[in-house]
Amino acid sequence: MDTEYPDRAHPKRKVHHFRKLKEEGKRIAVITAYDYPTAYAADSAGVDAILVGDSLGPVALGYQNTLPVTMEMMLHHTAAVRRAVKSAFLIADMPFLSYQLSPEEAVRNAGRFVQEAGAEAVKIEGAHDVLPAIERILGAGIPVLGHIGLLPQSIHRRGGYRVRGKDAEDAERLLAEAQLLESVGVFAIVLEAVIPSVAAKITAELKIPTIGIGAGPNCDGQVLVFSDVVGLTIGPVPKFAKQYGNVFQIMKDCVEKYVEEVRSASFPDEKHQY
């Protein structure tokens, strides 16, 4: 059965939309979502893209990091988001070990996101090490969003969550990685936890858009986690995230009122009966 979208009149975003926005000097708004209601809210608000991030591990499933997230988890959540989204461009995060084993495995898994879950693009962390995988996926006609800077899937190799670009050598390395990804055909690049001045230089050097998360104000766009934006995060909120509400407290207050009314036998009242 077709879903009705009575409150949404935003134009459908497609892959070419992002480079056009950069050329016109317009900022790109991206947010994560992991289920039908959050995706519906984000799409209704007019975001340019929704990323079903492997951040669902710590954010929605209670894991310590993104490493336990599997392809089956990601397919399940991406399909749920797809059913809600009408206008935004839908990107799926390729989880740990879904693209590192071989280019053949990478393109097979990327294809599953498109074929089984309705994604329009995939995101991959890294540059040189994963270049063959990116090229094979692009060769299959699937758009790729690059991701450099802090790489959550590589926290053990890098010794934790560290800001990138603090010295000249690392800054030049990041620029070279961004240029390499652009040269093979990614449509945009996420810059995570990159010193703002370095992110600004990378953004100026590229023709494709940069999407910042903890990378300062000079990227072509920004991406944040849905729960950070609405105030639903359990635990510390990252320094770079801005909360625009306190949905956790609203939810808690509602449930407390429900519990109180059930225990006092005031719910259900006559109005809420057949």
Give bridge partners of residue 30 from the DSSP assignment: 49, 223
Give bridge partners of residue 28 from the DSSP assignment: 221
CA 246 to chain centre: 21
Catalytic hit among 192, 205, 260, 270? 192
268: enclosing H helix or E strand: none
Give the Cα separation of 225 and 214 in Å (integer): 12
Give the Cα separation of 144 and 134 in Å (integer): 7
> How many helices, marked H, and strands, marked E, lie in the chain?
11, 8
148: enclosing H helix or E strand: strand 144-149
Buried b (16+ CB within 10 A) or exposed e, 88-114: bbbbbbbbbebbbeebeebbbbbbbbb
To the query of whether residue 169 is one of the catalytic residues in this protein, the response is no
Which residues are catalytic, by number?
192
